[in-house]
Copies of this chain bind each other. A is one copy, B any other.
Amino acid sequence: MKLFTIGPTQMYETTIKVRSKQIPYFRTKDFSEMVLKTNSMLKRYINTSNNSEIIWLTASGTGGMEATIINCFNKNDKLLVIVGGNFGARFAEICKIHDIPYDILSISYGNKLTEDDFTNYYGNGYTGVIVNLHETSTGQLYDINLIKNFCKRENAYLIVDAIGTFLCDEFKMDENGIDVAIVSSQKGLCVSPGISLIFLNNKIIKNKILTNNVKSLYFDFKNYINNIHRGQTPYTPAVGIVYEIYDMLNFIENNGGISKHLEIIKKRAQYFRDLLKKNNLTYPSYPLSNALTPVIIKKPLAKEIFKELKDNFDLIVNPVGGENADYVFRVAHIGNLNFYDYNLLIEKIKNIIGMR
């Protein structure tokens, strides 16, 4: 079996090795020290100050997204949510449920986010902008500069869902004025799903989070902030996944560091996209994250290709939902994959299409 999916991903051997061991008890000094070391590496990789805090939340990415919104904002705020796919729409849904006023900046499918898209939104008094920087359902990687400039001019907090881009593309949290970044264990970190990490800078902790009245026990970041300096969480975390994350960061560190890691993923993405072109297959023209490539099929065969690749060759690509489900599937460039894997995948895809 080979996973070209974007979470779970094809795991590295080192992760399998960590997973093959008994999970230790976690209310110990050893565990605390590991968490603190992990935090320090994570902050370095996401390019944020040591004063930022990381919330370790045992939950899917959606849990991390919801927890972030209700900790940072309330009904006195006004948010601009950038919606260019399923995950942007999910943020809007969260704001609606929690009675947090919001507007939607909508990007039609296939279109690129440009400066013009912001024209109608200046001077509206937004206190925050919410964006899935890599809208994983379409593959588009938005231009962070556009969003950063808008936030600066409007004096709005910038909340970035970095789930599909951290450890996939370069990510500079502080330099880009990002106040909160949301990460999930199963994407760029390439380990098991189950933990969301929320990076908070000092400004938003002080000005918004510590004074906000959160109507949740499990999602209240204040409880987590109070425990993280001793390397602990208020509730039993997904302990096994904490070990996997620590190990993965060390793996990256010992194999040339973050820039080398990002370079490898970029090369894979480029290699695969070149292969697509050579084989008359198409991918979107808007800017893409290196995490994945959406493959566009002219005939409505995407679901069949997924099924045949899986059933006949044990190769798993990532389907899409919604109206493009028959015409698009996605291929990941994160995880333990190499050029040979892509050669094989393209060959099989061509065979399947050729037989139709």
- A residues in contact (CB < 8 Å) with B: 1, 3, 5, 7-8, 10-11, 16, 19-28, 58-63, 66-67, 90, 93-94, 97-98, 184, 186, 192-195, 215-218, 234-241, 310, 316, 318-319
Contact = CB atoms under 8 A, between A and B. Distances in A.
A194 B240 contact: yes
A97 B240 contact: no
A8 B27 contact: no
A314 to B, nearest CB: 10
Given A20-B19, A24-B1, A93-B217, A241 B194 contact: yes
A58 B5 CA distance: 20
Given A22-B3, A22-B10, A218 B66 contact: yes
Nearest to A4: B25
Contact of A66 (B1, B8, B11, B216): B216
A318 B234 CA distance: 16
Contacts of A237: 60, 193-194
B19 A194 contact: no
A243 to B, nearest CB: 10
Contacts of A235: 60-63
Contacts of A238: 192-194, 238, 241
Given A8-B239, A184-B236, 6 more contacts: A1-B22, A10-B22, A16-B22, A23-B192, A60-B236, A194-B237
B98 A215 contact: yes
B26 A8 contact: yes
Task: Select the residue from A8, A26, A90, A319 with max chain B CB neighbours within 10 A.
Answer: A8
A75 to B, nearest CB: 12
Given A193-B236, A316-B25, A217 B62 contact: yes
Given A192-B23, A193-B240, A59 B59 contact: yes
A241 B13 CA distance: 19
A236 B163 CA distance: 13
Contacts of A25: 3, 5, 8, 316, 318
B28 A22 contact: no
Task: Select the residue from A8, A61, A238, A316 with max chain B CB neighbours within 10 A.
Answer: A238
Contacts of A239: 8, 186, 192-193
A239 B60 CA distance: 10
A3 to B, nearest CB: 6
Contacts of A216: 66, 97, 216
Task: Select the residue from A26, A186, A192 with max chain B CB neighbours within 10 A.
Answer: A192
A316 B59 CA distance: 27
A18 to B, nearest CB: 9
20 contacts: A8-B240, A11-B22, A11-B23, A16-B20, A23-B193, A58-B58, A59-B218, A62-B217, A62-B218, A93-B217, A94-B217, A98-B215, A192-B238, A192-B241, A193-B239, A194-B194, A194-B237, A194-B238, A194-B240, A238-B241
